[in-house]
Amino acid sequence: MEASSSTSHDPALFHAPLLHHPRRRSSRPLKGFAVIIGSVVFLLSLVILIVNQSPEPLASNPSSVTEAGSYSMAAQPRGIAEGVSAKSNPSLFDKVGFNWTNAMFYWQRTAYHFQPQKNWMNDPDGPLYHKGWYHLFYQYNPDSAIWGNITWGHAVSKDLIHWFYLPLAMVPDQWYDINGCWTGSATLLPDGRIVMLYTGSTNESVQVQNLAYPANLSDPLLLQWLKYPGNPVVVPPTGIEDDEFRDPTTAWLGPDGSWRIAVGTRFNTTIGTALVFQTTNFSDYELLDGVLHAVPDTGMWECVDFYPVAINGSVGLDTTALGPGIKHVLKASLDDTKVDHYAIGIYDMVTDKWTPDNPEEDVGIGLKVDYGRYYASKTFFDQSKQRRILYGWVNETDTEADDLEKGWASIQTIPRSVLYDNKTGTHLLQWPVEEVESLRLNATVFKDVVVEAGSVVPLDIGTATQLDILAEFEIETLVSNSTEDEVSDCGDGAVDRSTYGPFGVLVIADDSLSELTPIYFRPLNTSDGSLETYFCADETRSSKAPDVTKRVYGGKVPVLDDENYNMRVLVDHSVVESFGEGGRTVITSRVYPTEAIYGAARLFLFNNASGVNVKATLKIWEMNSAFIRPFPFEETLFQEMVAST
């Protein structure tokens, strides 16, 4: 092993298999789960009611998400009564609250992820680039750290990393949005105008689509927004529930010269649907025949996103791009499961219908945008660098009481660039925007570190609270044939051993491994003798606090014949973003450790496989903090900078 830092690192190898509980010495896997589907309408309705009332809705594949402990509810999740998906955790009465200290709460706040100064935040809204500034709008409660009184917060950045808070962009002050200015999207027109469509909840809690636009296009900060006097511009069509019709997309231009938008809804309570509306002036709309796409048994579609990708390109495409060599991505946030799903397919611009390449992995039943704690994502085309950028909302998994005490809730992920994976032809590639690399400080390299089966290797990098980790793994098989009864997908977490895995890194861990979050690969034997690999994150031992949701997340990731196992992991206090195989599979985790904080946070390699040794090569950067603060309007220098843009 070699280290390319000023300090030589020679971690001592010690045998310490990952345990299901700090005091247990057995690493036997836990196996088995059951999924019972009712066929009687009454029972199905009852099940749906129960799921909708759970504090942490089940993912679409129950075997890929395991929750450590069950919760009983004392109250319904906030937001359901308002006709919008639950945006906060309910109260729990069978879990003892942890005695958090102010120092623990302070540590949980991130250092380089965007979050408001205080209070509640959810979905990203209308991201765009204008006159040298990136704009991020977001759902925001100016009065509290829990969901409610939803307005549009506003922030700007020159580089997508350092942000300035601006005054609120839109507040609920009209009959058509008095119960909330909800999620929306921006469209940049060829003549330079900007139109913003957003959902308003009316004085009668009807979800309608409204139009807004900048008061002054010459203002690079877009400080003032005007609401169209003729709002609402779109109301729920006949047959659509008044409270299940929301989140308009960015518009795209059709071959007939008119614009289209899609709006999420559902039919018959179970059929997730995207409707298409046509307009020439953004104030008058016509519902087109049929639907853009619909998938049975996926429930209400929120935050629909629809955009083109180049199948042989290295740059992003404007939303209006059409023609050969282009496919379209359709993404929906599933209200029933709180999971973002996408599929890649073909858009027929004449019929305004979209068809998935693989119907077995259609929207809502196949690939996920992110396999972890992640929702309500939205993309935009960055015309300054010819790339498509993805934002996603990451909410808390602690209690509302904790959020109120610390005074804030929720973050946005690091913006990600999105490209079509032309090597597999089946996936998107998500990768942190290159600007985040400007935060990298000193780097340490570990080469060819051998991690024997059933062992953990400490990596001496000092404090491990803010990191950017690149890791590559090779496996050396120790057994000729495996006869183990291997559990599928991510199993019960990093303790669930199989022949070829799990192996990876332990982040936000303390020296005694009483708290840790494994990020790992789990290759499994298939019937034809090949390996099928899962990329996973295990939160079940991330915190000793009993009132925090802790799950095992993960999904299948293609590993091609000419590829090693590789991951990139961004660690930022209470959030961990993990990218497997160049971003084919991505997992966002929230962790709330009680001991692995500040100077006690450590980083380890681990290999809990039973039949392979692993050789690892890593490059690890300590990450600086980003500057995220109110815009300094009073400073002449910044006034001049704004004027120059």
Interatomic CA distance for residues 456 and 26, integer angstroms: 15
Q: To which H or E segment does residue 547 belong?
A: none
Residue 470 neighbours by CB distance under 10 Å: 16
Q: Tokens standing for 114? A: 């965007």
Structure tokens at 78: 């906030």
Spatial distance between the Cα atoms of 495 and 481, rounded to a whole number of angstroms: 22
Q: Rg of the Cα trace of the chain? A: 24
Q: Is 409 helix (H, G, I), strand (E, B) or coil?
A: strand
For residues 333 and 331, give the distance between their C-alpha atoms in angstroms, rounded to a whole number: 7
* Residues composing the chain: 645
**Structure tokens, 229:** 């006097």
User: How far is it, in rounded angstroms, from Cα 119 to Cα 171?
Assistant: 16
Task: Note the Cα 127 to chain centre separation in Å.
Answer: 16
Q: How many CB atoms lie within 10 A of CB 564?
A: 12
Give 222's contacts (C-beta < 8 A, 6+ positions apart): 130, 135, 154, 169, 194, 214, 216
Q: How far apart are CA 397 and CA 90, in angstroms?
A: 10
Our answer to whether residue 123 is catalytic in this structure is: yes
In order of 22, 380, 494, 590, the CA distances from 542 in angstroms are 12, 33, 12, 9
Beta bridge partners of 272: 266, 295
Reported in sequence order, the residue ranges of 397-479 that DSSP labels E, i.e. its strands, are 408-409, 411-412, 416-420, 428-432, 440-451, 455-458, 466-477
Task: Give the DSSP letter of residue 28.
Answer: P
Query: How many whole angstroms separate alpha carbon 347 and alpha carbon 345?
Result: 7
Cβ neighbours around 71 below 10 Å, total: 18
On the 0-12 / 13-18 / 19+ scale of CB atoms within 10 A, 602 is buried
331 phi/psi in degrees, rounded to 5: -125, 140
Integer Cα distance of 59 and 72 in angstroms: 18
Beta bridge partners of 551: 67
> Which residues are bridge partners to 153 per DSSP?
138
Q: Which of 569, 575, 571, 570 is nearest to 592 (CA)?
A: 575
- In angstroms, the Cα distances linking 455 to 24, 95, 530 are 16, 33, 25
CB-based contacts of 57: which residues, under 8 Å, 6+ apart?
Answer: 51, 336, 337, 338
**8 Å CB contact between 586 and 580:** yes
| N-term to C-term CA, the chain | 50
Between CA 583 and CA 586 the distance in angstroms is 6
Q: Distance between CA 582 and CA 577 in Å, rounded? A: 13
Helical segments of 357-515, H only: 400-406
Which residue bears the tokens 């231009």? 253
Q: Which of 123, 125, 370, 492 is catalytic?
A: 123
Cα angle for residues 490, 491, 494 (degrees, 5° grid): 75
* 340 closest CA partner among 414, 286, 394: 394
CA separation for the pair 29, 40 (Å, rounded): 35
Active site residues: 123
